[in-house]
Amino acid sequence: MITTDLAPGSPCWLDLGAPDVRAAAAFYGAVLGWEYESMGEGGDMEGGMFKKDGKTVAGLGKLTEEGARSAWMIYYTVTDADATTQAVERAGGKVRVAPRDLGDWGRMAQYDDPLGGQFAAWQPGKQAGFELADETGSLSWTELYTSDAAGAKDFYAGVFGWSYGDMELPGGGGTYTLITPAGLPEERMQGGLMELPKENLALAGGRAYWHPVFNVDDCDAAVAKVTENGGSVQMGPDDAEGVGRLAVCLDPANADFVVLTPATPS
């Protein structure tokens, strides 16, 4: 589970780069019940914060990188962004944004893993990260699709020290790897990774990619909101035993995310 204690190696923030900030704010407001708080209007610096029940859950900004696709960027807590950057480079990754201070909020950097999966590090200052997790309308899981699961496991273990557990999916669906932050028990599993053929990674042009999973009270109702507001559905809604009911969705700019109604504990 993802919590707000934000231990090293655990997700602590996510933000969306969108070509149309106002349209994205309206879409996620309709689908997830988020309120949008603008921190700037117009130009390349346009953006703000998403909140749920008064608590910050994510960020939103203008997509300005030429040729980039609209996507969610997931940030992981680190104690030293510069040391993390060195670990990324040693493990074969690339630095997209070198470590830099964001005022006294904290220090951030962004990277590509060896197969192009984009992720980020956050060294907290006065801002630790999101204020709500694993609740309705907030981040509950992170997921990597990659064409090389073994390589991804080695890379992220070298960068974050993650531990893993493999499970076979029903019906011969392949192996799903569960991710736990270094030194934490299995009940703190925060995400998973899965190997897929490159042709199944067309959304990112064959490159690996991360996406967020958001908890919702009613998966089918959330999917209806997705399609009513200009998004689309890649898969589902489907029931996953022991997990819940979920659907893989795209917003109107084709940024991918998952909505999940968790299974009720027996």
The string of pLDDT tens digits covering residues 194-250 is 999 999 999 999 999 999 999 999 999 999 999 999 999 999 899 988 899 999 999
Q: Are residues 164 and 254 in the same domain?
A: yes
pLDDT tens-digit profile of 71-99? 999 999 999 999 999 999 999 999 999 99
Specify the pLDDT at position 221.
98
The confidence score (pLDDT) of residue 266 equals 60
Same domain, 246 and 144: yes
Whether 147 and 258 share a structural domain: yes
Q: Is residue 56 part of a domain?
A: yes
Task: Indicate the residue among 77, 97, 124 that finishes a domain.
Answer: 124
Do 84 and 159 belong to one domain?
A: no
Same domain membership, residue 146 and residue 108: no
How many Å separate Cα 119 from the centre of its chain?
Answer: 8
Predicted confidence at residue 236, as pLDDT, reads 87
pLDDT for res 65: 81
In a domain, 2, yes or no: no
**Residue at 146 is within a domain:** yes
Residue 26 belongs to domain spanning: 11-124
Are 77 and 159 contained in the same domain?
no
Q: Are residues 160 and 69 in the same domain?
A: no
Crossing angle between the packed helical segments 219-228 and 21-32, to the nearest 10 degrees: 150
244-250, strands of its sheet edge to edge: 163-168, 175-180, 191-195, 139-146, 209-215, 256-262, 244-250, 232-240
Look at residue 27 in the predicted model and tell me its pLDDT.
Answer: 98
Decide if 92 is inside a domain: yes
**pLDDT of 45 higher than 80:** no
Number of domains in the chain: 2
Q: pTM for this one?
A: 0.95
Instruction: Classify residue 162: in a domain, yes or no.
Output: yes
Are the C-beta atoms of residues 195 and 147 closer than 8 Å to each other?
yes
Pair (114, 195) in one structural domain: no
The domain boundary residue, chosen from 90, 124, 158: 124
Residue 133, domain member (yes or no):
no
Nearest to 222 by CA among 263, 169, 175, 258: 258
pLDDT (tens digit, 9 = 90+) per residue, 155-201?
A: 999 999 999 999 988 777 789 999 999 999 988 999 999 999 999 99
CATH number at residue 37: 3.10.180.10
Show the tokens assigned to 176. Answer: 């799903």
Query: Do 25 and 97 have their domain in common?
Result: yes
